[in-house]
Amino acid sequence: MSSDIAVHDISKSYRIGGQVNGTLRERIMEWATAPRRAMRASAPSIWALKDVSFGVAAGEVVGIIGRNGAGKSTLLKILSRITQPTAGKMQVRGRMASLLEVGVGFHNELTGRENVYLNGSILGMRKREVDRRFDAIVDFAGVETFLDTQVKHYSSGMRLRLGFAVAAHLDPDILIVDEVLAVGDAGFQKKCLDAMEGLQSGGRTVLFVSHNMAAVENLCSRAIWIDGGKVRLDGQAKDTIRAYMESIAGESAGGTELSDIEHRIGDGAIRFTRVEYLAEDGTPCLLTRCGEPLRLRLHYRAVRTVQHPSFGFRLLTGLGTLVTESYNLLHGTVVDRIAPGVGYIDVHISSLNLLPARYWLSLWITDEAGSHVYDGDVRTVLEVEPANIFASGRLPDARQGIVFFPQVWTQPVSVSDA
Which residues have a Cβ under 8 Å from the Cβ of 225 and sit 6 or more positions away?
A: 65, 66, 231, 232, 233, 234, 240, 243, 244
Among 45, 53, 68, 121, which residue sits at the site for other proteins (rule: CB under 8 A)? Answer: 121
| Contacts of other proteins in 39-78 (CB under 8 A) | 77
Select 121 or 326, whichever has its Cβ closest to other proteins: 121
Among 75, 199, 233, 290, which residue sits at the site for other proteins (rule: CB under 8 A)? Answer: 199
Which long-range contacts (C-beta less than 8 Å, at least 24 apart) are formed by 152-158?
A: 152/108, 152/109, 154/112, 157/184, 157/185, 157/188
Shortest approach of other proteins to residue 261 CB, angstroms?
Answer: 26
If phi > 0 it is left, if psi is from -120 to 50 it is alpha, else beta; for residue 105 that is: left
Select 80 or 256, whichever has its Cβ closest to other proteins: 80
Shortest approach of other proteins to residue 396 CB, angstroms?
Answer: 37
What does residue 201 show for φ and ψ, rounded to 5 degrees? -75, -20
Please list the residues that pair with 98 across neighbouring strands. 176
Shortest approach of other proteins to residue 182 CB, angstroms?
Answer: 15
CA distances from residue 263 to 48, 179, 226, 356, 378 in whole angstroms, order as listed: 11, 20, 11, 28, 8
Select 90 or 287, whichever has its Cβ closest to other proteins: 90
Among 125, 223, 253, 261, which residue sits at the site for other proteins (rule: CB under 8 A)? Answer: 125
Q: Which stretch binds other proteins (CB under 8 A): 94-102, 256-264, 267-275, 396-404?
A: 94-102
Q: Which stretch binds other proteins (CB under 8 A): 16-24, 266-274, 333-341, 345-353?
A: 16-24
Among 37, 107, 153, 190, which residue sits at the site for other proteins (rule: CB under 8 A)? Answer: 107
Shortest approach of other proteins to residue 110 CB, angstroms?
Answer: 6
Cα 308 to Cα 374: distance, rounded to the nearest angstrom: 12
369 is a site residue for other proteins (CB under 8 A): no
CB distance 258 to 361 below 8 Å: no
Cα 26 to Cα 20: distance, rounded to the nearest angstrom: 12
25 is a site residue for other proteins (CB under 8 A): yes
Any alpha helices (H) in 127-268, and if so which ranges?
Answer: 127-141, 156-168, 186-201, 213-219, 237-247
Select 168 or 361, whichever has its Cβ closest to other proteins: 168
Select 124 or 254, whichever has its Cβ closest to other proteins: 124
Among 63, 69, 172, 376, which residue sits at the site for other proteins (rule: CB under 8 A)? Answer: 172
Among 16, 18, 27, 333, which residue sits at the site for other proteins (rule: CB under 8 A)? Answer: 27
Among 56, 62, 160, 170, which residue sits at the site for other proteins (rule: CB under 8 A)? Answer: 170
Select 6 or 395, whichever has its Cβ closest to other proteins: 6
Shortest approach of other proteins to residue 40 CB, angstroms?
Answer: 19
Shortest approach of other proteins to residue 6 CB, angstroms?
Answer: 9
Q: Is the dihedral of CA 123, 127, 132, 134 positive or negative?
A: positive
Select 167 or 382, whichever has its Cβ closest to other proteins: 167
DSSP 274-306: EEEEE-TTSPBPSSEETTS-EEEEEEEEESS-E
What does residue 217 show for φ and ψ, rounded to 5 degrees? -65, -40
Binding mask of the shown chain, residues 200 to 239, with x at each position contacting other proteins by CB under 8 A = --x-------------------------------------
Binding mask of the shown chain, residues 304 to 343, with x at each position contacting other proteins by CB under 8 A = ----------------------------------------
Helix (H, G, I), strand (E, B) or coil at 170: coil
* Terminal Cα-to-Cα distance of the chain (whole angstroms): 68
Nearest to 368 by CA among 323, 308, 418: 308
Residue 410, Cβ neighbours under 10 Å: how many? 5
Cα 287 to Cα 385: distance, rounded to the nearest angstrom: 7
Q: Which stretch binds other proteins (CB under 8 A): 121-129, 219-227, 347-355, 364-372?
A: 121-129
Q: Which stretch binds other proteins (CB under 8 A): 96-104, 225-233, 298-306, 338-346?
A: 96-104
Among 38, 45, 59, 88, which residue sits at the site for other proteins (rule: CB under 8 A)? Answer: 88
User: How is the chain split among helix, strand and coil, in percent rounded to 5?
Assistant: 25, 35, 40
Q: Is the dihedral of CA 70, 72, 75, 81 positive or negative?
A: negative
Cα 405 to Cα 178: distance, rounded to the nearest angstrom: 32
> Which residues contribute to the site for other proteins (CB under 8 A)?
1, 14, 20-25, 27, 77, 80-98, 100-101, 104-105, 107, 109-110, 114, 117-118, 121-129, 132-133, 135-136, 139-140, 165, 168-172, 195, 198-199, 202
